[in-house]
A = this chain, B = another copy of it.
Amino acid sequence: MIQVGIIGVGTVGTSVAQILKDNADIISARAGVDIRVKSGVVKNLKKDRGLDIKITDNADDVLNDPEIDVVVELMGGVEEAFEVVKKALRSGKAVVTANKALLAYHRYELQEIAQDIAFEYEASVAGGIPIINALRDGLSANHIKSIMGIMNGTCNYMMTKMMHEGVSYTDVLKEAQELGYAEADPTFDVGGYDAAHKLLILASIAYGIDAKPEDILIEGIENVSGDDIAFAKEFGYAIKLLGIAKKDKNEVELRVHACLIDQSEMIAKIDGVMNGISVVGDKVGETLYYGPGAGGNATASAVVANIIDIARSGKSKPMLGFDKPLEGELTLKPIEKIESKYYLRINVSDKKGVLAKITKLFEDHNISVETMLQRPTSSDSANLLISTHVAMEKDIQNLISTLASLEFVNSKPVMIRIV
């Protein structure tokens, strides 16, 4: 029998215990051994979780229990969880975690401590979608050319509503908060940080890039407006918050931001709270993985799959870790060197000569205009909605600074990258 200790018995932890009980028949059959949750650690001992396991408020009760084989870390947060996982690995216990923030900051240190002890984290990216399994095993014959994913259900829900129902950003955020999809302070989701944590985990698996969130380009969806949606519709795009990892010779670019993406792309067709990740391998071409990115049962499904894998593998480490990326010897591409097509929304005073001055500035910055749409916003101002051919991030940022300083430009232009 394999005995499990759960540190952090909240929504996901409760689901893990429940699945191990509900589906014990197939789980035992597949693991080749019974798996049982022995104990769980919580902050508040008074709350009844309806589980028949030993509950304690001291993590050491699990970490020091010689009968516990697998520690499931679901407490969230970074530094406290880091200490707990280190201690578990050092006492020779296998660890399964769904904690993306922990991994975004400490994945390499933990991998180093784990060595040959199983350290698994399928649930940390895209909840119930077995994307890490796919990268590690299913696509192991490939050099990975790119990963592009909808990794935050909250943002995708909001973008879908704005796109298909014409709801404003403010209203859809309020609605997402009421539905429990977004927090009271929604920054972590709508600012792109949650997606960035997940992207860093996938990028380490694919490319061995040891970057922290601070090192990469992270922007959110806060500036997307009805005019941008109208432009997207006019030119056949969807707007999505994407996490993107892309290999270019010996460099990898990592970025999270709102994107205009052609509606015919599979990933553009993923709507609502669902997640989806497209992976392009040099041999297989594009494969895409779709499913629920959050929720107790979906996330717990991935946690339990890791536990089954560990139980089946006995002493051997079932899956390769961050120390064995799909690619080697790659470095992070500096943000200013990123190349992309861009969309700009520039609110200008509607005066004679303004358009000519602005298009001249594009030329001066080596940026070539692909499409342009002008929409009046009042009797004396208009939005210029402009898409460009491929340009350099550095050039576009300079252009935006220049534009923002002009008298007839009414506010800082809004930019969305086109993929």
Contact = CB atoms under 8 A, between A and B. Distances in A.
28 contacts: A19-B283, A25-B328, A26-B140, A26-B143, A29-B328, A129-B287, A130-B133, A137-B305, A138-B305, A139-B305, A140-B304, A141-B300, A141-B304, A141-B308, A283-B297, A283-B298, A283-B304, A284-B297, A284-B301, A285-B291, A285-B295, A285-B297, A286-B292, A287-B289, A287-B290, A288-B290, A288-B291, A289-B289
Contacts of A354: none
Nearest to A318: B137
A270 interface: yes
A142 interface: yes
Count of this chain's copies in the oligomeric assembly: 2
Interface string A286-328: 1111111001011011101100110000001000100010111
Interface of A: 15, 19, 22-23, 25-27, 29-30, 122, 128-130, 133-134, 137-143, 266, 269-270, 281-292, 295, 297-298, 300-302, 304-305, 308-309, 316, 320, 324, 326-328
Given A138-B134, A141-B301, A128 B19 contact: no
Contact of A300 (B23, B269, B283, B308): B283
A27 B270 CA distance: 32
Given A291-B285, A292-B284, A141 B326 contact: no
Contacts of A300: 141, 283
B266 A290 contact: yes
Contact of A134 (B19, B130, B266): B130
A30 B297 CA distance: 31
A266 to B, nearest CB: 6
A304 B140 CA distance: 8
A298 B283 CA distance: 6
Contacts of A134: 130, 133-134, 138
Contact of A287 (B25, B128, B137, B141): B128
Contacts of A137: 130, 133, 137, 305, 309
A298 to B, nearest CB: 5
B141 A305 contact: yes
A331 to B, nearest CB: 17
Contacts of A288: 289-291
Nearest to A308: B140
A4 to B, nearest CB: 13
A261 to B, nearest CB: 14
A228 B23 CA distance: 42
Given A266-B269, A291-B285, A292-B285, A138 B133 contact: yes
A302 B141 CA distance: 8
A147 B327 CA distance: 33
